[in-house]
Amino acid sequence: MLERAGLADHIVIVTRWYGGKHLGGDRFRHVADAVRHYLAEIGKG
């Protein structure tokens, strides 16, 4: 997603505190949502 936005010098780090709830396959959706939010904040999304 960062490459498609032309951002070669950016990095997004997503962490999660385990609270007992298993995310399963949704964990990748949450990471993608975090990147989309970042891109929107910097005006690239």
Assess contact for 23 and 30: CB atoms under 8 A: yes
What number of other Cβ atoms are within 10 A of residue 41's Cβ?
9
Query: What pTM does this model have?
Result: 0.72
- The pLDDT tens digits for 1-45 are 999 999 999 998 888 777 787 777 788 888 899 999 999 999 987
Q: Which residue has the tokens 């505190």?
A: 17
Structure tokens at 37: 């939010």
Number of helices followed by number of strands (H, E) in the chain: 1, 0
Domain that holds residue 30: 1-45
How far from chain centre, in Å, is Cα 1?
A: 9
User: How many domains is the chain built from?
Assistant: 1
